[in-house]
Structure 1
Amino acid sequence: MAIAVRRIGGEKSWFCHLHRFFSTSTENAASSISDIEGEFKSLCSAGRIKEAFKTYNAEIWTDQHLFSYLIQSFIPKKSLLIAKQLHSLAITSGYYFKDKFVRNHLLNMYFKMGEIQEAIAFFNAMPMRNIMSHNILINGHVQHGDLESAIKMFDEMPERNVATWNAMVSGLIQFEFNENGLFLFREMHELGFLPDEFTLGSVLRGCAGLRASYAGKQVHAYVLKYGYEFNLVVGSSLAHMYMKSGSLGEGEKVIKAMPMRNVVAWNTLIAGNAQNGHFEGVLDLYNMMKMSGLRPDKITLVSVISSSAELATLFQGQQIHAEAIKAGANSAVAVLSSLISMYSKCGCLEDSMKVLLDCEHPDAVLWSSMIAAYGFHGRGEEAVHLFEQMEQEGVEGNDVTFLSLLYACSHNGLKEKGMGFFKLMVEKYGLKPRLKHYTCVVDLLGRSGCLDEAEAMIRSMPLEADVVIWKTLLSACRIHRNADMATRTAEEILRLNPQDSATYVLLSNIHASAKRWKDVSKLRTTMRDRNIKKEPGVSWLEVKNRVFQFSMGDKSHPMSEEIDLYLKELMEEMKLRGYVPDTATVFHDTDSEEKENSLVNHSEKLAIAFGLMNIPPGLPIRVMKNLRICSDCHVAIKLISDIHNREIIVRDTSRFHHFKHGKCSCGDYWYVVPFVSWVDVIQSYSSSRITRSAVLICLTGKPQVFVWTCRSSSDFVAYGPHGAKNALGKRCKKMFNMNHIPQNKSPSNSITFNLIDEEAEGLMDTQEVEREIKDTAVLVHNLHRRKEGSISSVVDCAFHLLLSQGENQIWNRAAPHYPPEVETDKSDIADTSVA
């Protein structure tokens, strides 16, 4: 025996000294075999394997159970050398030939250590095999992702038992072949095999994966029939099935009916509440679990940290982080990934990065989580840089990594880089894009104005399109005012989900932007008839460790009157800074005053006002919203951040917006270009006696717009929101060093187009002008995102911030003031000094 060990392991191998233990005679004082086995297992479990050898070496050679447990004790070491030595000892001791129990443990050992080929070779060389041998082989193939080999082995087995069926059903459901798993369960039942707790647990997970409560209720009947309703494993799986299917109440009933709850049952209850959006309930259950005396594990912590992230309760999240450290769970990848996400969603990106940096050897999951955090905060370049750093560290990205990168690129206008990453993941990394990857690419193309390319990708991709990818395209159609494509896209969405409320709302907004109130009315009638309701906007923030929630029209807050008064004063102060409420974002056919009152009471404005009243100066205000922030609130919050010199962080469904010193981190990239509203301006010109008109879009730090007219080389008038402004005309002349407006030549760093048809010597057709403005604005938008043509000297001189200040309403209100004839002050025009 000693010779065999030395031949395999070598003199220096720790295991080669085992023969010394086996050659020493030791008397054992244990009174029974069960006591010996118990003490031996206890020593091995504590890692005191040498002591176990020395104490019970004689019993090891007479009790195959002790030898089998010895094999199990060495599995965590994942050492092929030790596996070979144990194999050799089994042969020399005779266990290999005479005991099928030991042989199966050796087979299982090879699989558990990840030595697949060794396991298969061992199986083929076994002198005798039983059903358990085949079951271990099926389980081994499943554990290592080879479902095809597992199915082949299952089909070829001459004899099967419940464990065989369990292995195959569990394997199919593990790989999300839920329907196949349920079909196999039915076949198992029809052949007379009685399911056990493991069968029922697997099948219930399959029902949860399908979100098929109808099938789950049938399995529930089996549970009751076979008396497993109080089994902790089955009960937890049953509750999980109901909760995953959306029946939170039914799942809670199952858990409450259990005579006792273990950590698994609590985890099921906590995770179920998190999955159904009951995040406050998660925190309550977590406290109840601790009060019951049970110690949360890493699965518990992941659910609770994720719930804190959704609620953006930073203080609660920090407490749980501390508890994770105390519990020693802060090294688990799932916990660390949740912490990165939690700090990011609470607006603390630096703390997210600290979690990553504190990890000694971060894997692809943690890198991907941090890349996603950067993308969510609109810091696309940093996300790309982090990926490059990840590659330099030798960590290979996975499909989640590239999903995070594509998201970051789409929300930062990095079209070329995003398309490059999509190509890289396929060609270099050999990853097959999933539907979520295609959705990000469609978003990337759509935000960049490449709508035809985005639609073509959806229709040509190898996967079947879902509602999400079509809704992504529909949002792009709204941004770029493509009504025809929007209609086609909406039809696809409603074909897949006729009850999708967001689609009706988006279509209604598109019609409202075009002032097609009859179409809006029809859509609202359809929604009412089908009982489709728009999700109300809700915003919340944390103040002094308490979460306060606000919604439009809700006066239940005890400080409601004070908030309204404070907000009214704030709006007046903003108007002095040039703020004009963007009532074009209110898609109802009502008067301007009513629309303006509606805008003032948006939930995010109420939350920010409350934050300004209750959070000490100098501290950031963090607001979360369940819907996307509207353009008017975006403009307003930029002004508020500048007026009060406060950092305001708003998280909506799409991304984070960091407002500081009157600017937003998103760079206004998400903003809806107000094309349709320009029609009012053009119509106003059409009714005037202006002989020559043009619109100039300057490529400054932000794209900027103003309109001028001229009737002669010396007659120059520029228009703004309050009609003619000669001072503005004077600035324009000085800025572009010109005494008159060139008809066919654009000033430097600008794009100009005329509103007159030179050939017809008259005004252009309104639709032609609108189309030209649209094409030019898209061009300007894309140039700006690529940082081309930017100059800083004209920022003060330009009149409007296109894509930033809600020009649609400014222009609409300004248009009636454009006079047919303008009496200009010649002396003012002649003065070329900058005002």
Structure 2
Amino acid sequence: MGAYGLRCISISYVTTIFQNPVSHFSTLSLKSHLRKGHLVDLKEQFVSLSSNGYIKEAFDFFVPKIWEEPNLFSHLLQACIFRKSMPLGKQLHSLIITSGCSSDRFISNHLLNLYSKFGDLQTVVTLFDRMPKRNTMSCNIMIKAYFQNGDFESAYRFFNEMSERNVATWNAMVTGLTQFEMNEEAMLLFSEMNDLGFMPDEYSLGSILRACAHLGVLLAGMQVHAYVMKCGFVFNLVVGSSLAHMYMKTGSMQEGEKIIKSMPIHNVVAWNTLIAGKAQNGYAEEVVNHYCLMKMAGFRPDKITFVSVISACSELATLGQGKQIHTEAIKSGVSSVVAVVSSLVSMYSKCGCLEDSVKAFSECKEPDVVLWSSMIAAYGFHGQGQEAIRLFHQMEQEKLQANEVTFLSMLYACSHSGLKDKGLEFFSLMVDVYGLKPWLEHYTCMVDLLGRSGCLEEAVAMIRDMPVRADAIIWKTLLSACKIHKNIEMARKIAEEVLRIDPQDSASYVLLSNIHAAAKSWQDVSEVRKAMRDRRVKKEPGISWLELKNQVHQFSTGGKSHPMSVEIELYLEELTSEMKFHGYVPDTASVLHDMDNEEKEYNLAHHSEKLAIAFALMNTQEGVPIRVMKNLRVCSDCHVAFKFISKIKNREIIVRDSSRFHHFKNGTCSCGDYW
């Protein structure tokens, strides 16, 4: 059969295989599309159709033209990428081979790009090896293909072996390295690229700014900012958003916000950058406000938006608002995205709704290691260590590789459930079996685990022997254990360690003062308080809050700023009398001042969490669970009182303090008095 006959068969074959394109318009609207395009020749019409995804229409209409200009194949290949159709791409590849165009370097590069975009690295390598003629573009596509498939070593080797590079080569390398968090290498390469006079594009500039953000190098980021201004990219959406992200990530919130506001136009990426920056810097309320402004401006939130906003609801512990945003995520079609589900698990957990966390986790079809770790952390936060262990073993059965965060969640769960031996097992498993290097946070969990169980000397030895430098937090963790076990001498030494690192840390003074007060060493309490005054250290006030009818009510210890403060005080008096009738005895030993018992009892009765719960009892229906959040640790007297209240009033009381959740029900607490 001659070449003409072979071509006719090919034409007939491809006309048949393109029978089911994605048709956004009818035949009539297609003709209108052609008329309104102001196109002057068939080639332009072919390009227009193929670039808009009309593969079958383009092929049917322009078959004769293809054989005269084989380069038109490139537009069909691009259309396959646009349509995300690998089968059509492979069929076109067959036609290209049949037509004798496979040796054309221009078309071969487009084929390389096609298989690269669809992640078929083996075919990309095979095609590249068979190309009779290659150019720099061919090599650039290979670099991108290696990076896309996670083989950065081959990409680096390929780059080093290239005899000729262009600006696209350098940009591909810088962008690819940052994708694998090889940020320092990317910055060195960017510097070399600049020295050689190559101009970065918007994507490599955006990547290098993200590298500066991850490394926390503000000065280097500012230097890139100056370079951005010099290159004229300052108003580019990609670069502008990356620049703002860099400033926010390195703590310069105002500068980042100023850049976003100076951009002439905004898109979803810009809004997400601003919202994520607010979330990362602790401006949870502003996150929710900007989320509302984003919607009012006509932009549709995406999965990245919802991750930030749901995380903000976690910090605010606003369950009603969190549920509302969950509903909006469902309507937007992103509620099943794993990153969003992880945020939902965390949000419901931090709002005291562990059951909803379990529900969100169980409904996810393909949970990743981040989601598993989030669920394990949720169990640990609520003191359900055994459930966390069960989930870890289930995760292993699913052949998912636990990472440092997973083990951190496990150690936390063991620590807050009194599972000392299990915690030691998991630490050993992490180091000896999984080969993971412990972070300072892992050692802090282990010190907490040992300290809570009374092994204070072992905890000190671990701090002394660990390969990373101790910070104030790990010493404060041990100081808290000294308070539990009333070890005054060790507490004094540890307090010195904390205050040497952070002389302004109010929590350490308070802990030490608590220890002396418990031992009725009032002279030592006075000395600690005098040291605080001399160093102008202020104690963080106790604050509790709860959400009622979509409104957040806040209470401070001894405060009378709430509109119902008089009614709350009267109700507390009646409630305290009722509790005493059922056997409640105020724990006056936890009061830090030398005063008579009546004054101590009054002081205890006006703790912020008691005020919040009294308000909730007055303003909610019987049987409705009460959820209260507190910025500090719940005191021992409040802990006892809430057990009495839960039984007397037949209410479930859920309290989140700075350390964990307490679920009070029928006179008992979920922590088993181990917190």
* Contact 1:211/1:244, CA 8 A, preserved across alignment: yes
Matches within 5 A, 1:412-427: 412-426=417-431
Equivalents in 2 of 1:431, 1:315: separation in Å? 39
CA contact (8 A) 1:619 1:647 kept: yes
- Tell whether 2:370 aligns with 1:357: no
Deviation, structure 1 residue 379: 1.5
Shift of 1:109: 4.3
What's the counterpart of residue 316 of structure 2? 311
Indicate whether 1:72 and 2:78 are aligned. Answer: no
Counting only pairs closer than 5 Å after superposition, residues 171-182 of structure 1 correspond to structure 2 as 171-182=176-187
1:335 is matched with 340
Distance 1:22 1:339, change over 3 A: closer
Partner residue of 2:654 out of 638, 649, 654: 649
Report the CA distance between 1:119 and its aligned residue: 4.1
How many angstroms apart in 2 are the aligned matches of 1:577 and 1:472? Answer: 35
Q: Which runs of 5+ in 1 are unaligned?
A: 4-14, 671-835
Whole-angstrom distance in 2 between the partners of 1:83 and 1:465: 57
Q: Which amino acid aligns with 1:654?
A: S
Q: Do 2:105 and 2:131's aligned partners in 1 also have CA atoms closer than 8 Å?
A: no
Deviation string 1:624-682 (CA, Å, 9 cap, x unpaired) is 11222122211121122122111110112221111111110110111xxxxxxxxxxxx
In 1: Cα distance, 2:507 partner to 2:65 partner: 71
Measure how far apart 1:71 and its partner are. Answer: 5.4
Q: Hey, what's the Cα distance between the residues in 2 that align with 1:643 and 1:416?
A: 37
Tell me if the contact between 1:72 and 1:105 (Cα under 8 Å) persists in the aligned partners. Answer: no
Q: Deviation digits for residues 152-207 of structure 1, max 9, x if unmatched?
A: 44444444444333334344444445455444444433443344322332232233
* SS at 2:553 equivalent: strand
Distance of aligned partners of 1:354 and 1:159 in 2 relative to their CA distance in 1, 3 Å threshold: same
The 5 Å alignment of 1:80-479 reads 90-100=96-106, 102-116=107-121, 118-120=123-125, 122-392=127-397, 397-426=402-431, 429=434, 431-463=436-468, 465-479=470-484
Name the CA distance, whole Å, in 2 between partners of 1:404 and 1:478: 24
SS at match of 2:552: strand
How far apart in 2 are the matches of 1:296 and 1:242? 23
Separation (CA, whole Å) in 2 of partners of 1:522 and 1:490: 14
Distance change (3 Å), C-alpha of 1:41 and 1:480: farther
Alignment-mate amino acid for residue 570 of structure 2: L
- Residue correspondence of structure 1 range 42-81 to structure 2 within 5 A: 42-43=52-53, 53-54=59-60, 61-70=70-79, 72-73=81-82
Q: Distance in 2 between matches of 1:22 and 1:118?
A: 23
Name 1:796's counterpart in structure 2.
none
Change (3 A) 1:618 1:511: same
Measure, in 1, the Cα distance between the counterparts of 2:473 and 2:260.
34
Contact 1:339 1:352 (C-alpha < 8 Å) held by counterparts = yes
In structure 1, the partner of 2:576 is: 571
Against the structure 1 CA distance between its residues 402 and 662, is the aligned structure 2 distance closer, same or farther, given a 3 Å change threshold? same
Q: How many residues align?
A: 649
What is the Cα deviation at residue 583 of structure 1? Answer: 3.3
The question of whether the paired residues in 2 share the 8 Å contact of 1:583 and 1:592 is answered with yes
Matches within 5 A, 1:635-714: 635-670=640-675
Counterpart pick for 1:625 among 609, 626, 630: 630
Q: Which residue of 2 aligns with 1:40?
A: 50
Q: Distance in 1 between matches of 2:139 and 2:496?
A: 52
Letter in 2 for 1:97: S
Cα distance in structure 2, aligned partners of 1:166 and 1:531? 52
More helix by share: 2
Greater Cα offset, 194-203 or 106-115: 106-115
1:11-22 to structure 2, matched below 5 A, reads 18=14
Q: Is the 8 A contact 2:420 2:449 kept in 1?
A: yes
Amino acid at match of 1:41: S
Q: Note the C-alpha offset of 1:408.
A: 1.8
State the match for 1:755 in structure 2: none
Secondary structure of 2:454's partner? coil
Matched-pair contact (CA < 8 Å) for 1:21–1:54: no
Task: Give, as a single letter, the amino acid of the residue that structure 2 aligns with 1:228.
Answer: F
Q: 2-side partners of 1:495 and 1:126: how far apart?
A: 67
User: Which structure has the greater CA radius of gyration?
Assistant: 1
CA distance in 1 between counterparts of 2:472 and 2:145 reads 38
TM-score normalised according to structure 2 size: 0.84
Spell out, residue by residue over 1:738-796, the C-alpha distance to the aligned partner (whole angstroms, 9 max, x if none): xxxxxxxxxxxxxxxxxxxxxxxxxxxxxxxxxxxxxxxxxxxxxxxxxxxxxxxxxxx
Q: Secondary structure at the match of 1:229?
A: coil
Contact 1:21–1:53 under 8 Å retained in 2: no
Amino acid at match of 1:285: H
Secondary structure of 2:314's counterpart equals helix
Name the CA distance, whole Å, in 1 between partners of 2:368 and 2:522.
Answer: 54
Q: Which runs of 5+ in 2 are unaligned?
A: 4-10, 20-30
Partner Cα distance (1:56, 1:494) in 2: 80
* Structure 1 residues 584 and 249, CA gap change in structure 2 (3 angstroms): farther
- Residues 573-621 of structure 1: CA distance to partner in whole angstroms, max 9, x if unpaired? 3233333333333334555544443322221111111111111111011
* Residue correspondence of structure 1 range 800-819 to structure 2 within 5 A: none
Q: Could you tell me which residue of structure 2 aligns to residue 506 of structure 1?
A: 511
Measure the CA separation in 2 of the matches of 1:103 and 1:458. Answer: 61
Task: Tell whether the 8 Å contact from 2:115 to 2:123 is kept in structure 1 after alignment.
Answer: yes
Task: Find the residue that maps to 2:546 and give its secondary structure.
Answer: strand
CA distance in 2, matches of 1:489, 1:154: 54
Q: Within 5 Å, which residues of 2 pair with 1:480-491?
A: 480-483=485-488, 485-486=490-491, 489-490=494-495
Superposition deviation, residue 327 in structure 1: 1.2
Give the Cα separation in 2 of the matches to 1:409 and 1:255.
Answer: 44
Aligned counterparts of 1:492 and 1:133: Cα–Cα separation in 2: 60
CA distance in 2, matches of 1:503, 1:177: 39
